[in-house]
Amino acid sequence: MPITLPDLRGRTAVVTGASDGVGVEIARGLAGAGADVVLPVRNPAKGERAASRIRQTHPDARLTLRDLDLAHLDSVAALAVALLSEHAPIDLLVLNAGIVLLGDAERHVTDDGFELHFQTNFLGHFALVTALLPLLRERQTRVVVQCSLAAAVARVEWDDLQSTRRYRPLRAYGASKVALGLFGCELARRSAAAGWGVTVQLSHPGVVPDTGIAPAMRARAKGGAQHGIARFVGNSPGRAAESALLAAVEPAAPAAPDLFGPSGLLHFGGPAARQRPYRRITDPADGARIWSVAERLLAERVRPA
């Protein structure tokens, strides 16, 4: 049975990665509950199509498209500056955008000089959230951090954050999701310690074969036995969105976010439920470390010409 959200009329939600996959369904759920939903997207035409899809089920949905490419820090800064100058009300911020380049053996580096998973999934979101902190504090925003099952088994390689020595897409993806989760937990701790009022919950969608993620692998797997099994044990995008939707509305303990994810076999699929966050993303020392490393990387980055 799908979850029922409280009345969110008068509330504003910003959902990254809402032009495809699970993010469309997160935005649909929030818009259906009456929230004004901002969709920051890197591809405006795709964003328009996602908005049309949402309006098919919710014709009165209050949706606004904005530009955001997490792989370009100037784009992240431009969105933050615009929202700050508009004094935009942000009651809910869902960090859902993500990539995993499975099936692509080549290591990609952004114009800002960072490995692509690291920047898209983690550093870009870090830059966005820390720039928006004045707005988040003002509205006591709930931040939802979309992790992954991969974060349960991956780890941050502190001496090789950019996977320069050894690159494998799944490893880089997992590390970026651990970094994102560590950041989310550290944000909760800092907020509680300093009285910012920002609350954090973590989510993961399980395994969701029918989204745009991992295009190279999808092209190979589509229609095959692997895809069939994944569909059978995994989640539809709609059901997968329930984890982040619950994380958006469930009460959060200060300094100690919960994790919401599918409750079925191996947590691949099924209805969303509260779970224990993975130890590798709750470690306070690692959380403080990823925060200061990210601050240093952003301060030292060589700006693209």
Ligand X SMILES: NC(=O)c1ccc[n+]([C@@H]2O[C@H](COP(=O)([O-])OP(=O)(O)OC[C@H]3O[C@@H](n4cnc5c(N)ncnc54)[C@H](OP(=O)(O)O)[C@@H]3O)[C@@H](O)[C@H]2O)c1
Pick out residues in 123-152 that bind ligand X (CB under 6 A): 146, 148-149
Nearest to 145 by CA among 108, 182, 101, 120: 182
- Amino acid at position 256, single letter: A
User: What distance separates the 2 farthest-apart alpha carbons in the chain?
Assistant: 52
Q: How far is CA 245 from CA 93, 157, 257, 274, in A?
A: 11, 31, 15, 12
User: Should residue 207 be labelled a site residue for ligand X when binding is judged by CB under 6 A?
Assistant: yes
Q: How far is CA 4 from CA 33, 146, 249, in A?
A: 9, 20, 10
The HSE-up count of residue 110 (CA atoms within 13 Å, CB side) is 22
Residue nearest to ligand X (CB): 21
User: Should residue 205 be labelled a site residue for ligand X when binding is judged by CB under 6 A?
Assistant: yes
Which part of the chain contacts ligand X (CB under 6 A), choosing from 69-77, 183-191, 219-227, 282-290?
Answer: 69-77
Count Cβ atoms below 10 Å from residue 4 Cβ, excluding itself: 8
As measured in angstroms, the least distance from the Cβ of 104 to ligand X is 14
Among 13, 14, 17, 34, binds ligand X (CB under 6 A): 17
Q: 167 an active-site residue?
A: no
Which residues contact residue 285 at a Cβ distance below 8 angstroms, ignoring those fewer than 6 apart?
none
User: Should residue 71 be labelled a site residue for ligand X when binding is judged by CB under 6 A?
Assistant: yes
Give the alpha-carbon dihedral of 222, 227, 232, 236, to 10 degrees. Answer: -60
Which lies closer to ligand X via its Cβ, residue 21 or residue 270?
21
Pick out residues in 157-196 that bind ligand X (CB under 6 A): none
Which lies closer to ligand X via its Cβ, residue 34 or residue 124?
124
Among 179, 208, 259, 294, binds ligand X (CB under 6 A): 208
Contact 284, 65 (CB under 8 A): no
Which part of the chain contacts ligand X (CB under 6 A), choosing from 62-70, 181-189, 218-226, 257-265?
Answer: 62-70
For the window 18-57, what string marks contact with ligand X as x by the rule CB under 6 A? -xxxxx------------------xx--x-----------
DSSP 176-206: HHHHHHHHHHHHHHHHHHHT---EEEEE---
Which part of the chain contacts ligand X (CB under 6 A), choosing from 58-66, 203-211, 218-226, 269-277?
Answer: 203-211
- Per CB under 6 A, residues contacting ligand X are 16-17, 19-23, 42-43, 46, 68-71, 96-99, 120, 146, 148-149, 204-205, 207-208, 211-213
User: Catalytic residues, which ones?
Assistant: 173
